[in-house]
A and B are shown apart, each in its own frame.
Chain A
Amino acid sequence: MFLAYKEMLRSKGRYLLMILVIVLVSYLIYFLSGLSFGLANNNRSAIDRWDANSVVISKYANNSLASSKISQAALPATLKTTKNRQPVSESMAVSAHNNHDTNVTVLGINFKGFLAPALISGRQAKTSHEIVVDQSLLTKGLKKGRTITLNGGKQHYKIVGVTKNNRFSTLPVVFMSVKNYQSFTGTPGQISGIVFKNAEKSTLGKTYQRLSIQKLINKLPGYSAEVSTFELMIGSLFVIIAFIIGIFMYIMTIEKTQMYGVMRAQGISGGRIVKTLLSQSFLIGVVGIGIGLILNQLTMLAIPDTMPYYSSGVLVAGASAILLVMVILGAMVSIWRINRIDPLDAIGGES
Chain B
Amino acid sequence: MALMTLKNVTKAFGRGDTAVNALTPTNLSLEAGEFLALTGPSGSGKTTLLTMMGALQTPTSGQILLDGRDIAQLPERQRSQLRFDEFGFILQASNLVPFLTVQEQLSLVDRLTHKKQPERQQQLLTSLGIWEQRNHYPSELSGGQRQRVAIARAFYHQPKMIFADEPTASLDAKRAVQVVQTMAQMAHDNQQAVVMITHDDRLLQYTDRVMVMTDGVLTEEKRVQQGA
Contact = CB atoms under 8 A, between A and B. Distances in A.
Interface string A239-278: 0000000000000000000110011111111001000000
A268 B84 contact: yes
A258 to B, nearest CB: 7
A350 interface: yes
B46 A350 contact: yes
A273 B6 CA distance: 32
B82 interface: yes
Given A2-B111, A3-B108, A344 B91 contact: no
The majority secondary structure among interface residues of chain A is helix
A266 B45 contact: no
Contact of A347 (B51, B98, B137): B51
A347 B84 contact: no
A263 B153 CA distance: 12
B31 interface: no
Contact of A266 (B42, B57, B84, B100): B84
Given A259-B97, A348-B93, A267 B48 contact: no
Contacts of A347: 47, 50-51, 56, 91-92, 165
Contacts of A2: 107-108, 111
B80 A349 contact: no
Interface string B122-138: 00000000000000010
Nearest to A270: B80
Contacts of A264: 80
Q: Identify the interface centre among B45, B57, B80, B98: most chain A CB within 10 Å of its CB.
A: B80
A351 B153 CA distance: 24
B81 interface: yes
A72 to B, nearest CB: 79
A153 to B, nearest CB: 76
B155 interface: no
Interface in B38-94: 42-48, 50-51, 54, 56-57, 77, 80-85, 87-89, 91-93
A127 interface: no
A202 interface: no
A267 B80 CA distance: 4
Given A11-B99, A269-B80, A351 B48 contact: yes
B83 A266 contact: yes
Nearest to B165: A347
A6 interface: yes
Interface size class of B (residues with CB under 8 A): 35 or more
B89 A350 contact: no
Nearest to A346: B91
Contacts of A344: 51, 56-57
A263 B79 CA distance: 13
Interface in A1-24: 2-3, 6-7, 9-11
B112 interface: yes
B138 to A, nearest CB: 10
Contacts of B56: 265, 343-344, 347
Given A272-B112, A350-B45, 8 more contacts: A2-B108, A2-B111, A3-B108, A265-B95, A343-B83, A344-B51, A348-B91, A350-B42
Interface of A: 2-3, 6-7, 9-11, 258-259, 262-269, 272, 343-344, 346-351
18 contacts: A2-B107, A2-B111, A3-B108, A262-B95, A264-B80, A266-B83, A267-B80, A267-B82, A267-B83, A267-B84, A267-B87, A344-B57, A346-B93, A348-B91, A348-B165, A349-B166, A350-B47, A351-B47
